[in-house]
């Protein structure tokens, strides 16, 4: 007997324990692949999830309250890895929310976002293992909630979600990962650099999935995708990408050269 994939995604998203969420997400993808889960055609779910399942810690604070730590210290080293783990944890919820919420989208949309959710769960486990090796755990440092706040702000429109989460917020990771890897390499943490190599490879694919669905939604609505993208960034006051842009990764993820030239010039 097949189950409703949207409700199954919601159940996984609402789990508080990170280990349980990762296991449920992996099982969700497996069940989907063997045909045990099916989409239910219909309108998007009208009830946005404002608070997904998450552990009591980390404490969530405004981004400006997060203090910079030197990666050369053990605490600073762990804090950097913790920030990555937090992004990956949120990314699991974001991908599951796409499956749960946007029920009007084609089967291929749900297939791709279930794959993304499983890969994000894998990434979280990899980074969590590196944290554990340093004597820390997820939740030991404060974090901010910017990724999920944008998910809430775009909950009523799949086009806005695809533009502002994968193509803005997650694409920032494509730019930020190489400098972070350089810092970790400078202190001899080759194991974490290897983890970041896996994450960067997969995240190019995740941003590309968001790019394809954004452009498809724009085409369906008769909109110029690249003009629409800039309009949405302005309308939502979304963060502008900070240089240097990782042009190679962004091009592989679907950005055009002209688009990257425009982003490189800054907001104004």
Helix spans in the chain (H): 5-13, 18-33, 74-101, 107-133, 146-153, 158-164, 171-186, 190-220, 225-235, 247-252, 257-264
Tokens 């399942």 appear where? 53
Inside any domain, residue 57? no
pLDDT at 66 over 90: no
- With beta carbons less than 8 A apart as the criterion, state whether 9 and 28 touch: yes
Q: Can you say whether the dihedral through the CA atoms of 238, 240, 245, 247 is positive or negative?
A: positive
Inside any domain, residue 52? no
Query: Hey, what long-range contacts does 240-249 have (CB within 8 A, 24 or more apart)?
Result: 240/266, 240/267, 241/168, 241/171, 241/172, 241/175, 242/172, 242/175, 243/175, 244/175, 245/175, 246/174, 246/175, 246/177, 246/178, 249/174, 249/175, 249/200, 249/204
The reported pLDDT for the residue numbered 67 is: 78
State the total domains in the chain. Answer: 1
Inside any domain, residue 43? no
Mean pLDDT for the stretch of residues 160-165: 98
Inside any domain, residue 80? yes
Inside any domain, residue 54? no
- In Å, what is the CA distance from 93 to each residue of 5, 23, 49, 146, 184? 15, 13, 10, 13, 27
The rounded distance, in Å, linking the Cα atoms of 245 and 230 is 16
Confidence class of residue 72 from pLDDT cuts 50, 70 and 90? confident
Confidence class of residue 69 from pLDDT cuts 50, 70 and 90? confident
pTM of the model: 0.96
Tokens 């440092």 appear where? 141
Tokens 């405004």 appear where? 62
Instruction: State phi, psi for 61 to the nearest 5 degrees.
Output: -135, 165
CA geometry: angle 265, 247, 63, nearest 5 deg: 70
Percent of the chain with pLDDT over 90: 90
Domain coverage including residue 227: 3-37+64-264
Residue 165 sits in a domain of what CATH number? 1.20.1260
Inside any domain, residue 48? no
The reported pLDDT for the residue numbered 45 is: 84
Inside any domain, residue 78? yes
Inside any domain, residue 56? no
């Amino acid at each position: 007997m097949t189950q409703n994939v949207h409700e199954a995604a919601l159940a996984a998203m609402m789990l508080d324990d990170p280990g349980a969420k990762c296991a449920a997400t992996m099982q969700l993808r497996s069940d989907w692949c063997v045909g045990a889960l099916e989409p239910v055609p219909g309108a998007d779910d009208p009830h946005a999830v404002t608070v997904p399942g998450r552990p009591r810690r980390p404490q969530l604070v405004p981004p400006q309250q997060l203090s910079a730590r030197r990666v050369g210290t053990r605490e600073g080293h762990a804090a950097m890895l913790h920030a990555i783990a937090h992004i990956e944890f949120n990314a699991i919820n974001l991908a599951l929310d796409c499956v749960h919420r946007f029920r009007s989208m084609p089967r291929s949309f749900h297939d791709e976002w279930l794959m993304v959710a499983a890969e994000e769960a894998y990434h979280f486990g990899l980074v969590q293992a590196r944290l554990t090796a340093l004597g820390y755990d997820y939740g030991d440092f404060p974090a901010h909630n910017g990724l999920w706040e944008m998910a809430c702000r775009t909950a009523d429109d799949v086009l806005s979600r695809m533009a502002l989460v994968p193509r803005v917020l997650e694409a920032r990771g494509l730019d930020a990962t190489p400098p972070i890897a350089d810092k970790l390499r400078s202190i001899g943490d080759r194991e974490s650099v290897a983890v970041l190599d896996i994450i960067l490879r997969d995240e190019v694919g995740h941003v590309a999935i968001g790019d394809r669905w954004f452009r498809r939604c724009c085409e369906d609505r008769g909109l110029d995708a690249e003009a629409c993208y800039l309009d949405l960034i302005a309308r939502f006051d979304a963060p502008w990408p900070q240089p240097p842009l990782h042009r190679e990764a962004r091009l592989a993820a679907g950005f055009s050269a002209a688009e990257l030239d425009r982003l490189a010039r800054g907001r104004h």
